[in-house]
Amino acid sequence: QLKVIKKREPIYNSYITVMEDEAREQAKLVQERIDSGDLIDSPLAGVPVAIKDNICTKGIKTTAASKMLADFVPSYDATVIEKLKNAGAVLIGKANLDEFAMGGNTETSYFGITKNPWNVNHTPGGSSGGSAAAVAAYEAFVSLGSDTGGSIRQPAAYCGLVGFKPTYGTVSRYGLIPYAPSLDQIGPLSRNVADAVALLEVISGYDPKDSTSVKQERYLYSQALIDDIKGMRIGVPNLYLNKNLEADVHKNFLEAIKIFEDKGAHIEFFDMKELEYSPQVYYVIAYAEGCSNLSRYDGVKYGYRAQEYENLEDLYKKSRSQAFGYEVKRRIMLGTYVLSSDKYETYFNKARKIRRIISQAYEEAFKKYDILISPTSPNTAPLLNSNSDSSDILNTSVNLAGLTAACIPSGRDRRGLPIGLQIIGNKFDENKIIRAAYSFE
């Protein structure tokens, strides 16, 4: 694995930090545990895993792709990391991302852009672009990403992978450097459904260290790996078909519907107009929470500190203006604006109300359907530096409503770039998604 990384990293830049020595050390320990009879039932024993670099790893730099945290070495492991280590996984590196996960193409990283292994002129998507590229380029077997408004699913689509966004509260966020805590979830990226399920079973479950964690000790997902969807009710929100889908994506989506029908599922198109403004609502909420969270980086407690300053105020100002990138600053300003006392009602509170309406619309939809499907993105991977990311419309409402959703590979466009299919499930209905995804695969 390390050899492959050496050869391919100069091309793709999937990683911010490759954990060469640590991985060797861990591999040795895992071997000892295997020899002593431990780990017999662990599908992750010895498996090289890439970790998005906004997830804290003890003793290993965790940067969130920001100059602000370029030298930050956490003194503790995130809960998901602890769980992976217990399961015998070998952490192989910290994957690139958009700065503080704010973006959709891994181009706002302080550590350079990542390229799509399917075609190096294209973006791998984002913000978990490094996690996706690492798996697609065989620089890792599987990886962890985080999804605030599509950041696992969209890069999975652009890189031809499975990406799973679990129900809010299912996977502990302890040790995840937050972007917008009411939306963030950690989840797996992999080459097939069974691998994602193996990872998901290990990282999910109650954690007292995360106050939003749901009190369910273990989730049994592998039992849903069944190739049978006869009678399953699948809804397709009309809105998603009208959203300027690229011709190849549109065609591929209709083919996917046909596959589900042939396997005995019932497909129904229906109106769900409530979703129309989900990106706008999402951005108001995400920027507001984002700017509150980033206020902790003041150059005093931790993070980057400006070299020269006149007083405390000046230290804050210089540290923050020197260490945050353009996109992060833009979001801090907009977040501050929507939270300001005279704009609070107009923007933030209104967004919260529409958020509830979106959740209720989903509740209604799931009375009629087991799962909903849509393309993961209206397009395949855009060219590098083209600044064109339009997948928010298809992805963000899932986080607003705290639901679960997965992206699975569903074909290629005429240029050979992968296309992804999104399957959305009600809260804690991961098993329905898994069944549908596994049958489709």
- Distance in Å, CB of 104 to ligand GLN, minimum: 4
Under rule CB under 6 A, residue 147 binds ligand GLN: yes
Q: Which two tokens stand for residue 403?
A: 């639901």
Q: Active-site residue 151, yes or no? A: yes
Q: Which of 14, 131, 151, 190 is an active site residue? A: 151
When asked if residue 148 is in the footprint of ligand GLN (CB under 6 A), the reply is yes
187 binds ligand GLN (CB under 6 A): no
Query: How many Å apart are CA 83 and CA 144, to the nearest integer?
Result: 12
321 is a catalytic site residue: no
Which among 56-64, 101-109, 231-239, 293-301 is the span making contact with ligand GLN, rule CB under 6 A?
101-109
Question: Does 171 sit near ligand GLN (CB under 6 A)?
Answer: no
| Contact call for residues 55 and 174 (beta carbons, < 8 A) | no
Residue 404 binds ligand GLN (CB under 6 A): no
Shortest spacing between CB 179 and ligand GLN, in angstroms: 5
Helix axis angle for 350-368 and 278-294, nearest 10°, is: 130
Closest to 29 measured CA to CA, from 97, 111, 85: 85
- DSSP 3-state helix, strand, coil percentages of the chain (rounded to 5)? 40, 15, 40
Q: How many angstroms separate the Cα of 18 from the Cα of each of 51, 286, 345, 395?
A: 10, 30, 46, 30
Does position 177 interact with ligand GLN (CB under 6 A)? The reply is no
With contacts defined by CB under 6 A, how many residues of the chain interact with ligand GLN?
Answer: 13
Which of 88, 103, 175, 335 contacts ligand GLN by CB under 6 A? 103
- Asked if 102 interacts with ligand GLN (CB under 6 A), we say yes
Select the residue interacting with ligand GLN from 161, 286, 361, 406 (CB under 6 A): 286
Whether 390 is catalytic: no
Given the residues 52, 83, 85, 427, select the one marked as catalytic. Answer: 52
Residue 59 vs residues 19, 73, 75, 93, 341: alpha-carbon distances, Å? 11, 6, 6, 13, 41
Q: Which runs of E-coded beta strand occur in 344-394?
A: 371-375
Least distance in angstroms from the C-beta of 4 to ligand GLN: 27
Rounded to 5°, the CA angle 162-165-167 comes to: 145
What positions carry a catalytic annotation? Answer: 52, 127, 151
Residues in contact with ligand GLN by CB under 6 A are: 101-104, 127, 147-151, 179, 286, 392
